[in-house]
Amino acid sequence: MAVTPESRQWAELFAERTRNDAGDGIAVILGFLGNPELISFAGGFPDPATFPAERTATILQDLASAGEVSAFQYAPTRGLAGPRDAIASRIESLQGARPGDDELLITSGGIEALELVAKSFLDTGDVVVVEGPTYLGAIMAFRNYEADVQAVPLDGEGLDVDDLAARLAAGLRPKLLYTIPDHQNPAGVTLSAERRRALVELARRYGFLIIEDVAYRELGFDGSALPSVWSIGPDVVLQAGTTSKTFFPGVRLGWAAGPADVVSQLISAKQNTDQCAAALGQRLFEEYVRRGWIDEQLELSRALYARRCERLLAALERSMPPGVEWTRPSGGFFSWLTLPVDAAALAFRAVEEGVAIVPGGPFYPDGRGTSNVRLSFSNVADDLIDVGIDRVSALVLAAHAA
Ligand SMILES: Cc1ncc(COP(=O)(O)O)c(C=O)c1O
């Protein structure tokens, strides 16, 4: 049959590299959120109560009345000077070191920093080491450039650096190692200070770049944080940050801070993606920081998420049957469950019961995670946490008994 425009299956023309199994995992998770009937532990979404709607309106009004132009104009690819200074100063006050002018790039969210890294570093078959489990968006970003993504296990103190060292000694040669040291997504664990230093030493010894994703770093429940990996090894670490969890995700704003030659390459890569992060968002965030509003909001946000987490852990304690284990985060949005039942089947049954949970599989590059579930407590009303966990626990009990 002749191929007519009507009969053409466009998917047949998609690039070969799109046919890997990176999948549409994030889209599936976002899809769950479209259904307001569901109690959703699915997305890593901030609670809208933390969104600074009025303050954003005030800043916008101020910019307009002051006749501001830069917020409405194209920005330089590396970012506007004022927002760059605000972000560098914030990094300095929170992490004890300031990225130099040629060591910082403003990005369109944390995910874009990962995309730019992948685009700049990865040829087909290059090895990228990730934590198993890890952020699904990172696996997808690396896989889209046909990398060989390999997972090193995690435990209660984060990435198992001894395991990594053994693999390196046995010949593994990654170009990149991706880690989320603080309140990890999805496991909710934090990399110990000792392991941070050991990791930097391994990067120096074996010549790979560490990508440190600090998405949840400022959301420690008690406000504290361990030294950032970048501050320990600025010669071998590129830090990817986001304002999504501390300001609001709709602004799509983040940063990359690291060695000057790496940042310079990312700037080149950005020139033919979106050219610059939205100037309006950059200026809004700069003002939000300069007026001290981010710190006021962070105190409220930390208290909110700490309370939610406590409620979730109490509900799990109360209603999960024996044989189920979970992590006890000290910040961030997530707890990671290990269950004696098939997680994908459980997630499917949970949706039927009006609860969205994410099975563990997509958080691994290698098919593991079949007995794990990620629970996000950040955007579930307190009383619904109890209802949701009761329902999931009943399903686990039933599946286990069957
Ligand atoms: C670990 C991690 N990195 C990056 C991101 C994405 O950040 P952004 O919204 O800035 O793209 C997320 C969002 O869930 C995340 O969990």
Query: How many Cβ atoms from other residues are within 10 Å of residue 338's Cβ?
Result: 15
Q: Is 135 in the pocket of ligand 1 (CB under 6 A)?
A: yes
Q: Is 188 in the pocket of ligand 1 (CB under 6 A)?
A: no
Peptide bond into 133 cis (omega under 30): yes
- The pLDDT score that the predictor gives to residue 33 is 59
Q: Is 130 in the pocket of ligand 1 (CB under 6 A)?
A: no
Both tokens assigned to 257: 């801070």
- The pLDDT score that the predictor gives to residue 29 is 58
CB of 226 closer than 8 Å to CB of 191:
yes
CB of 391 closer than 8 Å to CB of 319:
no
Q: Is 109 in the pocket of ligand 1 (CB under 6 A)?
A: yes
User: Can you tell me whether residue 322 is helix, strand or coil?
Assistant: coil
What does DSSP say about strands 209-213 and 176-179: parallel, antiparallel, or unpaired?
parallel
Pocket test for ligand 1, best of 112, 135, 190, 376 (most atoms within 8 A of CB): 135
Question: pLDDT tens digits for 338-360?
Answer: 999 999 999 999 999 999 999 99
Residues 189-200, mean pLDDT to the nearest whole number: 98
Instruction: Write the residue with the smallest CA distance to atom 2 of ligand 1.
Output: 215
When pLDDT is cut at 50, 70 and 90, the band that residue 43 belongs to is confident
Pocket test for ligand 1, best of 47, 111, 252 (most atoms within 8 A of CB): 111
When pLDDT is cut at 50, 70 and 90, the band that residue 188 belongs to is very high
Question: pLDDT tens digits for 56-79?
Answer: 999 999 999 999 999 999 999 999
> Is pLDDT at 152 greater than 60 in this prediction?
yes
Both tokens assigned to 172: 């593994």
- How far, in Å, from the CA of 114 to the mean position of ligand 1? 10
CB of 50 closer than 8 Å to CB of 300:
yes
Residues 256-284, mean pLDDT to the nearest whole number: 97
When pLDDT is cut at 50, 70 and 90, the band that residue 250 belongs to is very high
Rounded CA gap, 231 and 252, in Å?
25
- How far, in Å, from the CA of 397 to the mean position of ligand 1? 33
> Is pLDDT at 147 greater than 70 in this prediction?
yes
Q: Look up residue 207 and give its amino acid.
A: G
Alpha-carbon distances of 57 from 73, 287, 363, rounded to whole Å:
19, 12, 37
Instruction: Write the residue with the smallest CA distance to atom 15 of ligand 1.
Output: 215
Q: Which range is least confidently modeled, 31-35, 133-137, 277-281, 331-335?
A: 31-35
> Is pLDDT at 252 greater than 50 in this prediction?
yes
Rounded CA gap, 366 and 142, in Å?
14
Does this model's pTM top 0.85? yes
Q: Is 254 in the pocket of ligand 1 (CB under 6 A)?
A: yes
CB of 283 closer than 8 Å to CB of 64:
no
Q: Is 23 in the pocket of ligand 1 (CB under 6 A)?
A: no
Instruction: Write the residue with the smallest CA distance to atom 16 of ligand 1.
Output: 185
**Half-sphere exposure for 245 (CA within 13 Å, toward CB):** 27
Find, among 322, 313, 321, 308, the residue nearest to 382 by Cα: 308
How does DSSP assign 156-210, residue by residue?
TTEE-HHHHHHHHHTT---SEEEE--SS-TTT-----HHHHHHHHHHHHHHT-EE
C-alpha 354, offset from chain centre: 26
Q: What percent of the chain has pLDDT over 70?
A: 95
Question: pLDDT tens digits for 356-377?
Answer: 999 999 999 999 999 999 999 9
When pLDDT is cut at 50, 70 and 90, the band that residue 22 belongs to is very low
